C-alpha cells in the first residue's frame, strides 16, 4: 500500500506545526504524496472537521488516508483512532465527534484505537510530549499505514463502531409548501450558508427554480433575517448584491449574496440554534 495522505487541521500556517507533521511523514516514507485538505478549520470545531471530511472524501481515490487533527482533548483519555469507511477510505483522527457525518451518511465498517507502543513517533525527544498528537501519533501512524509499513489490523485493537462519539445531526421538517432546517456549515471565503435540506426534497415540497420564497432565519427563536428571496440554480441569476437561495455542490439548499458575503452582511452563522424556514 502506498497511498495518498490528505491532511486537515485547525493549525493554520502561522507557525511550524504543519511543517513538523509533514516532516514526520517524509521521515517514514519520502515517496508518500501529502495533500492539504484545509488547515483553516475553526479552532476546536470538531463539527466542522467532520463536515469537511464528508464534503471532500468521496472525490479522492479509494484507499486514500485522511489525517484529521482537530483535537481540543489532546492528551486526555479520548481515543486516538483510525476508522475505515464503508466506501474504502481511512481516517486517522481523535474520536471526538470528527467522524459524525461519515458515520451517519457514509457508514464506518471498523474503527481501531492507535496502539501508542507501536505507532507513535520515537527517538526525536517527543516521548513525554502530550500536546502534539498531530505530529507524534496521527501523522506518524497515518504515514505508516499509507506506506504499507503496517496493515490496518496493526493500527491497534478494534472497538465497537456504535461507541463512536458523534454530534447530534438535526433532520429538516418538510411538508407541502414549507421546509424548515438549520444552517449546518458555511462557505467561509464567499460568505454562503449551507442548510441540512436536500434540494430534491425542497423541490418535492413544491419549490421550483425562479420562485421567490419567503425566508425567515432565527437564532434561538429570535428573528435575525426575513425576506422574499429568489431560488435559482446559480449565482449569476441574481443581481449583484442580491440574496438568493441556490443548490450547492452537495445538492443541498443554501443561501448566498451574489458577489458579497451573506453571513457577514447580515451577522448570521451556523449551528443547531440557527433555523431557517422557507414558505411558498
Contact indicator for 37, 8 with CB cutoff of 8 Å: yes
Pairing of strands 65-69, 90-94: parallel
Pairing of strands 222-232, 5-9: unpaired
Pairing of strands 108-113, 158-159: antiparallel
What per-residue confidence (pLDDT) applies to 88?
Answer: 97
Cell numbers given for 124: 526525536
Helices 17-28 and 140-147, packing angle to 10 deg:
30
CATH superfamily of the 173-279 domain = Bacterial fluorinating enzyme like (2.40.30.90)
Q: Of 221, 220, 225, which Cα lies nearest the Cα of 278? A: 225
The third-level CATH classification (topology) of the domain covering 5-163 is Rossmann fold (3.40.50)
What per-residue confidence (pLDDT) applies to 3?
Answer: 83
**Residues with Cβ < 8 Å from 137, sequence gap 6 or more?**
80, 114, 116, 119, 120, 121
5-163 and 173-279 agree in CATH topology? no
Contact indicator for 235, 246 with CB cutoff of 8 Å: yes
Tens-of-pLDDT digits for all 280 residues of the chain? Answer: 678 999 999 999 999 999 999 999 999 999 999 999 999 999 999 999 999 999 999 999 999 999 999 999 999 999 999 999 999 999 999 999 999 999 999 999 999 999 999 999 998 899 899 989 999 999 999 999 999 999 999 999 999 999 999 999 999 999 999 999 999 999 999 999 999 999 999 999 999 999 999 999 999 999 999 999 999 999 999 999 999 999 999 999 999 999 999 999 999 999 999 999 999 9
Which spans in 118-243 are helix H? 133, 140-147, 199-204
Is the overall model pTM greater than 0.75, yes or no? yes
pLDDT tens per residue across span 96-136: 999 999 999 999 999 999 999 999 999 889 989 998 999 99
Contact indicator for 21, 5 with CB cutoff of 8 Å: no
Q: Of 77, 114, 115, 82, which Cα lies nearest the Cα of 98? A: 82
What per-residue confidence (pLDDT) applies to 131?
Answer: 87
Domain boundaries, the chain: 5-163, 173-279
* H/E segment holding residue 75: none
Cell numbers given for 177: 409548501
d(CA 167, CA 50): 9
Q: How many residues are given for the chain?
A: 280
Amino acid at each position: 500500500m502506498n497511498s495518498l495522505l490528505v491532511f486537515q487541521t485547525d493549525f493554520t500556517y502561522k507557525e511550524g506545526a504543519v511543517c513538523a507533521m509533514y516532516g514526520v511523514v517524509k521521515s517514514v516514507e519520502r515517496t508518500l504524496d501529502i495533500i492539504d485538505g484545509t488547515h483553516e478549520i475553526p479552532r476546536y470545531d470538531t463539527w466542522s472537521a467532520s463536515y469537511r471530511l464528508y464534503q471532500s472524501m468521496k472525490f479522492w481515490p479509494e484507499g486514500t488516508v485522511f489525517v484529521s487533527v482537530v483535537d481540543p482533548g489532546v492528551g486526555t483519555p479520548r481515543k486516538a483512532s483510525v476508522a475505515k469507511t464503508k466506501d474504502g477510505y481511512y481516517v486517522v483522527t481523535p474520536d471526538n465527534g470528527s467522524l459524525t457525518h461519515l458515520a451517519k451518511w457514509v457508514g464506518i465498517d471498523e474503527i481501531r484505537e492507535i496502539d501508542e507502543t507501536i505507532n507513535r513517533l520515537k527517538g526525536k525527544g517527543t516521548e513525554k510530549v502530550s500536546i502534539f498528537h498531530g505530529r507524534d501519533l496521527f501523522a506518524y501512524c497515518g504515514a505508516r499505514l499509507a506506506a504499507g509499513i503496517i496493515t490496518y489490523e496493526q493500527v491497534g485493537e478494534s472497538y465497537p463502531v456504535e461507541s463512536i462519539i458523534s454530534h447530534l445531526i438535526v433532520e429538516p421538517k418538510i411538508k407541502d409548501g414549507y421546509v424548515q432546517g438549520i444552517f449546518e456549515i458555511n462557505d467561509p471565503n464567499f460568505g454562503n450558508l449551507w442548510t441540512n435540506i436536500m434540494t430534491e426534497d425542497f423541490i418535492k415540497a413544491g419549490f421550483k427554480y425562479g420562485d421567490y420564497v419567503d425566508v425567515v432565519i432565527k437564532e434561538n427563536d429570535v428573528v435575525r433575517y426575513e425576506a422574499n428571496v429568489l431560488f435559482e440554480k446559480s449565482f449569476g441569476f441574481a443581481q449583484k448584491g442580491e440574496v438568493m437561495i441556490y443548490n450547492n455542490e452537495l445538492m443541498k439548499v443554501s443561501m448566498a449574496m451574489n458577489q458579497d458575503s451573506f453571513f457577514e452582511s447580515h451577522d448570521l452563522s451556523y449551528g443547531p440554534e440557527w433555523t431557517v424556514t422557507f414558505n411558498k
